Amino acid sequence: MRFGWFSRLEGRFTLAAALSAGVPLLIVGAVAWYGLSRSYLRTAGERLDSEAARLQAQLDTRIGLIAGVLRQVLIADGGDDWALRAAGMQLPEVVQLQLRRGRKTVALWSRFEVVPHELEPVARSDVAETWGPVRPDSWGEPQLTLGLSDYRGRMLDARLRAPLLWEALVELHQPNLHAYLLDRDGRRIASSNLVEVLRGAGVPREVLQAAPGRVFRFRDVRGVEQLAVARSVDKLGGRLVVEAPVAALLAPLRTALLLLLATVLLALAASAWPGWRLARAVTRPLDELARGAGELERGELDAPLRASGPPEARSAVQAFNRMATELKRSHQELARYAAELEERVDERTEALRLALQRALEADSAKTRFLASVSHELRTPLANIKGFASTMLASDVTWRPQEAEEFLRIIEGEADRMHYLVNDLLDLAKGGRGEFAVSKQPQHPARLLRSLMERLQSVAAGRELRLKLDSNLPCLQVDAERLRSVLVNLVENAAKYSTAGQPIELSVNKAEGYLRFAVRDYGPGMRPETVDRAFQPFFRGDESTSGSGLGLAIAKEIIAAHGGDIGVISDGGGTEVWFTLPLEGVND
Amino acid sequence: MLIAVAACARPPQRQVRVVVSGSGRLARASGFVSQLNDYQLKNVKVVVCDAAGNGGRLARCASGGPALFVTVGGVETKTVMQAGGGTPVIYVGIAASLDWGYVKKLSRPGGRASGVDNNYAELSGKRLQLLKTALPTLDRVLVVYQPSVVPTPRGLDYLRRAARVLRVKLGYFPVEKPADIDALGGALDAGGEQAVFLMPSFVIENSFDKIVRAADDAGIPVVGLHAAQVKQGAFLAYGADGAAMGRQAARMARQVLLGYPVAEMPVERPLQTSFSLNLKVARRLGLRLEPRALDLAQEVVR
């Protein structure tokens, strides 16, 4: 923008400071200049008038002297021309003299000619002194014509070099003054500058019309302003003019004016500089703040702003820096909170997802559980009802052996229901944390030997290999519950492996616990089913028999003993293991 | 700052060179220099180059490029004008300005030269008349003149017309170089001449002392051109004073230096023409002087 700098604070402040210092000085200077110049010109006018009066007096005296000397010629007329010659030689203005008696010329004298021509008569018998018209000579010099007469009828005609009238006067008392003599027609006939006379320089109208003795101003033909005064020269019918250029008259003031201008300039500079510095001290921090705010807005503010200027401005910048630091810290904290919140939301979302999945799975498990329970209970009930109805049929008479067989079947189905209901009760107790075990000191090897026959039975012909560490310690266990766990595990191993493959039962001692493991060499479990192995009613293969409660109850039993249970399936078979803590039992 | 700028803008110094052919015209130069110095013009330096009668030196004085040439006579003006260039010339006292051809018109010269015409050619007849007035019995005069200088024909014309009116016989002694003066004594010894009448010429003016000695030896007076020659031994002179013409020319030079075009500056005639007599010479030579002639003289050497 063209005046952009002036629209800024330092521009306006600098200008205001400069003007506040310069304008009063300028006003004072202008008033002083006006007053002094008027006073100078008034005084100069008085000097001009004084000089004009002095020159007028000397000119009158000179003209009177010329007339007086020439009149002596008339008085001393002795019949020859010696007086005429002497007068002519004595007066340098005289060019030619002519002595007449009436119309008859009796003597002639010329400054240049040996035999001069007669002059045109000027003198009149009835007038003692006559100043005639001004005539130019062959050089262009104006010549005055004078005629004198006396009572005896003698007359003298004279031609005078007008410019020499000026030479007869004393020099002008002051330099720069210029004076000249005008004839009655306004032509210059004498001057302190002879060229003006010889070239017939024109005279301004103001000079010709000026009142005698009054100081006036005008512009000459060159356009230069002049201060002048005019005085009448009565005998010649003309006027004497003294003038001086106004600029020259005011020249003494010029130095003062220059000093004043220099002072104004210095004052402007001296005021503008500190004004600019002061304004800049304010605007620089503002610029810095604006820059910092912009960078802060764009997130590019890396370093604190530089504090400068007066204390108020420094305080503002420092406050900005503190605010920026605080904002930066808050921004970082907010970002961290946001990241944490996002992480927490992800965690919670995952937890909810898992909970939902579990709930869905639990719901599904419950559905399956109810279906399984219904199925497990309905099958023996159907058998019991069927055989009972068969025995009670009135149209059939059953033999005792047949009736006994039927009753045994009914008893077996009732036992099956009884065991199922007991299992369900155990599972429910375990879920409520009410699963009670009756721990008694037991030696694992002895417990396994007492159980071997049944284990061989549930192994269904598969080779059952026992691997026991030597010196196994006794355990505090509920022997009946531990047996049911082992039977269940061996039964599952036999169920999920093919005939001819062995089943290994191992007991190993570890630090603080005994590790029991049952391993088969069947196809193993799918990875996604390993984690669900201990869910109630879960069966790895739906085609197999069983309620799916065995491993779930086993987990409850082991947990009631303070141990852990798990499954390892590697594609080459499945190993189900559990641990039992060694606590306070001496072998 | 303004003062410093004004100082930096100061114009270079201008030279005014006053060209002088010899000692006979130094008075004009001194009058000019004195008056111009009185004007106290700024940045103007006045240099007087005196050739001391040497033509080669005069040519060197007329060379170069000063702001203004000031010439104190015809030969100086001629040398400067022939040197060419556009430098204005103010001459101090040459005779017959129009005859030289440097000025087209007295009121408007139109060239690069103007100055003060000494009127010596026009005053030749008047000088003879004043000589006849002072020495009424005089009837024969030897005119010493330089034929080759421009004003000579005009001056001789005025002189001859006056001589006819005054019934004075004129003898002629032409000179072209200072050595020609050596024969003046012989011419005067031949007898019959009652005065030696000098015409304007730089050779004659610069050999003035030799002429006076020859005339003194012959016992006859010398009629000079101006008052200074009367003081140096001439019996009578009528003409403009050299120093006064120098002062007059200084005023013209000042105007030229202030910017007035020299082509527009009218040629001026002397402001004063003075008649001088030397009574000591009259007494020494036993001249029968008309007493009333003393009333006509503005200056008398007693």
Residue A11 falls inside a structural domain: yes
B238: DSSP letter = E
DSSP strand pairing (A142-149 vs A129-131): antiparallel
The torsion angle over the Cα atoms of residues A11, A14, A18 and A20, rounded to 10 degrees, is: 100
Residue A321 falls inside a structural domain: no
Residue A208 falls inside a structural domain: no
Q: Are B204 and B211 in contact (CB under 8 A)?
A: yes
Which tokens in the block code for residue B210?
Answer: 């030799």
Contacts of A261 in chain B (CB under 8 A): 2
Q: Last residue of some domain: A138, A169, A200?
A: A169
The neighbouring-strand residues paired with B92 are B116
Contact yes or no for A114 and B129 at CB 8 A: yes
Of B1, B266, B298, the CB nearest to A89: B298
Residue A22 falls inside a structural domain: yes
Phi, psi angle pair for A234, to nearest 5°: -60, -40
Residue A21, domain extent: 4-169
Q: Last residue of some domain: A150, A169, A188?
A: A169
Contact yes or no for A198 and B268 at CB 8 A: yes
Residue A33 falls inside a structural domain: yes
Contact yes or no for A114 and B265 at CB 8 A: no
User: Which parts of chain A have pLDDT scores under 50?
Assistant: 1, 587
Write the pLDDT tens digit of every residue in A13-30: 888 888 887 888 888 888
In which region does residue B172 sit, left (phi positive, over 0), alpha (psi from -120 to 50) or beta (all else)?
Answer: beta
Domain CATH number, residue A545: 3.30.565.10
Q: What is the block-wise mean pLDDT of chain B (302 residues), using blocks of 10 residues?
A: 50 90 89 92 93 91 92 94 93 92 92 94 95 95 96 96 96 95 90 92 91 94 94 95 93 92 93 94 94 93 92
CA distance B261 to chain A (A): 11
**What kind and span of H or E run contains A387?**
helix A311-391
Q: Spell out the domains of chain B, with CATH numbers in brackets.
A: 2-119+241-264 (3.40.50.2300), 124-239+274-301 (3.40.50.2300)
Q: How many CB atoms lie within 10 A of CB B137?
A: 9
Q: What CA–CA distance (Å, rounded) separates B176 from B148? A: 7
Cβ contacts of A237 within 8 Å, gap of 6 or more = A131, A183, A184
Beta strands in A172-224 (DSSP E): 178-182, 188-191, 216-219
Q: Which of A525, A526, A442 is nearest to A486 (CA)?
A: A442
Q: Which of A182, A176, A171 is nearest to A206 (CA)?
A: A182
Q: What CA–CA distance (Å, rounded) separates B171 from B163? A: 11
Q: Are A164 and A50 in contact (CB under 8 A)?
A: no
pLDDT value of position A587: 46
Nearest-10 crossing angle of helices A550-560, A479-495: 150
User: How far, in Å, are B18, B33, B42, B67, B98 from residue B45 at the CA level?
Assistant: 11, 10, 9, 10, 30
pLDDT value of position A76: 81
Q: Are A444 and A479 in contact (CB under 8 A)?
A: no
Of A85, A86, A112, the CB nearest to B123: A112
Q: Last residue of some domain: A169, A203, A232?
A: A169
pLDDT value of position A585: 56
The neighbouring-strand residues paired with A145 are A159
User: How far, in Å, are A368, A493, A495, A497, A544 from residue A522 at the CA level?
Assistant: 26, 8, 9, 4, 14
Q: Which of B46, B50, B49, B111 is nearest to B84 (CA)?
A: B111
- ipTM surpassing 0.85, yes or no? yes
Q: How many domains does chain A have?
A: 2
Which tokens in the block code for residue A282?
Answer: 């304010």
Residue A81 falls inside a structural domain: yes
Cα torsion angle, A61, A66, A72, A74, sign? negative
Residue A490 falls inside a structural domain: yes
Contacts of B1 in chain A (CB under 8 A): 262, 265
pLDDT value of position A383: 85
Only one residue has tokens 């606590």, namely: A583
Contact yes or no for B166 and A114 at CB 8 A: yes
Question: What's this model's pTM, rounded to 2 decimal places?
Answer: 0.62
- Measured in whole angstroms, the distance separating CA A561 from the mean position of its chain's CA atoms is 76
At B148 the three-state DSSP class reads coil
